[in-house]
Amino acid sequence: MHGQWSSRWTFILAATGAAVGLGNIWKFPYLTGQNGGSAFVLVYVVCVAALGIPLMMAEILLGRRGRSTPIRTMQVLAEETRAAQWWQIIGWSGTLAGMLILSYYSVIGGWTLAYIFKSAVGTFSGASGQFAADTFEHFVESPTGLFFWHTLFMILTMGVVAGGVQGGLEKAVQILMPTLFFLLLLMVGYSMTTGFFGKGLAFLFTPDFSKLSGASMLSAMGQAFFSLSLGMGTIMIYGSYVPKDTSIASTSIIIALADTLVALLAGMAIFPIVFANNLEPGSGPGLIFQTLPVAFGNMNGGLAFGSLFFILLLVAAWTSSISLIEPFVTWLIETFGLSRVKAAVYSGVATWLLGLGTVLSFNWGAKVKFFGLTFFELLDYITSNLMLPLGGILIALFAGWLMKVESTKAELRIMNPGAFVAWQVLVRYIAPIAVFIVLLNSLGIL
């Protein structure tokens, strides 16, 4: 028997737990910094609202109808709608994207692990911005350290996947995620005392369109997909457990709001510290590791708060990492009849090996470039900026054009006819066209 979430809130919390991860707290701030701030934030928020919410509805809807792994769900739905079997590509590309993303996500999850220990032993007591920046530089210079932490993070992830004990972790998340949220608020409170809070806010929220390029628009759109875990079928799996009488629309809106709020709070916590300490907003993937320790090192009780913050960030990363690999693991089990443990070990080892490329891209291999990008940047570009948006287009087209209108209507249960038409227009035309334009524009074609 296929299970079901016990209530709408359990689903909302579980889906938010999977959506909120390193993407919100690690990636959003550094991408914002690299892309000049406010205009990037604005495009990101518009993408979440106009593309993210309707697409999340589409994914949940397909999941609730197909009730299986993304690959199998798309197979079932293609049969049901007499659509061509190649629509399964949505499931394939999503499953692959999950592995590719996890390979580097695990390396950054490893950084989080390392920072729990660094904070706990008082490395950052009284730290200056320069000290925190140097500590990070020094940390990523050593492949052996990164190798160790990446390995440990992958073992943690695969341990849960192999044990099939996601349920326990999800329950823990229901307490830990709200705690993380409060700690973020506390960090924003600290940032207010730096004297640079206004400057941080202006950087994030005063639109400066001169900073907007095709590449930064694509990056903002990709980040919207990444942060909401869209375009790769993860949400489909979650959707398959949603009770029939749950409103998909309002649920999607709540998840998107919560996810975006966490990202914006992270930005509001970090940029005032950046400016107060003369750090570089565009310094890249190390940004939160170079800024937050300064706050912990200089606030009362910072040792405890700092360690707790990185522990919670680890848990947030952990739940997301499980949802990244789960489609592949389930597919291995269903297709080859492997045991869960074997499937977890095989997929874990493969992903871990690929992750070594990311480990090296921050030190020995930093100069090895593919199209001007390091290995890590290349993987991130291919997944966030290409695979997820393209997967999203296909999901939108499938839900908008191939599913029978009666079935989408029955699933979505939107009472207001105008709202249903609005959703239809968004998934049929606006989302696919917008994604396409942004992609072409970033390639300099449009």
- Closest residue (Cβ) to ligand PFF? 23
- If DSSP codes are grouped into helix, strand and coil, which group holds residue 181? helix
Q: What single letter denotes the amino acid at residue 113? A: L
Is residue 442 near ligand PFF by the rule CB under 6 A? no
**Applying CB under 6 A, which part among 37-45, 204-212, 223-231, 277-285 lies near ligand PFF?**
223-231
C-alpha distances out from residue 194 to 66, 198, 274, 419, Å: 51, 10, 10, 44
Residues paired with residue 282 on neighbouring β-strands, in sequence order? none
Tokens of 436: 């396409």
Please give the Cα distance from 303 to 355 (Å, whole number). Answer: 30
C-alpha distances out from residue 44 to 31, 173, 334, Å: 11, 26, 37
Q: What phi and psi, each to the nearest 5 degrees, are found at residue 240?
A: -70, -15
**Applying CB under 6 A, which part among 205-213, 228-236, 289-297, 403-411 lies near ligand PFF?**
228-236
Shortest reach from residue 326's CB to ligand PFF, in Å: 9
Is residue 69 near ligand PFF by the rule CB under 6 A? no
Shortest reach from residue 225's CB to ligand PFF, in Å: 8
When binding is defined by CB under 6 A, the residue of 232, 258, 264, 359 that contacts ligand PFF is: 232
- If DSSP codes are grouped into helix, strand and coil, which group holds residue 16? helix
Shortest reach from residue 323's CB to ligand PFF, in Å: 5
**Applying CB under 6 A, which part among 7-15, 21-29, 32-40, 328-336 lies near ligand PFF?**
21-29
Tokens of 386: 């290409």
Nearer to ligand PFF, 21 or 285 (CB): 21
Site string for ligand PFF, 299-328 (x = CB under 6 A): ---------------------x--xx----
When binding is defined by CB under 6 A, the residue of 229, 351, 385, 442 that contacts ligand PFF is: 229
Shortest reach from residue 324's CB to ligand PFF, in Å: 5
Closest residue by Cα to residue 289 from 309, 303, 275, 304: 309
Cβ neighbourhood burial of 138 (10 Å; 0-12, 13-18, 19+): exposed
**Interacting residues with ligand PFF (CB under 6 A):** 18-19, 21-24, 98, 101, 226-227, 229, 232, 234, 320, 323-324
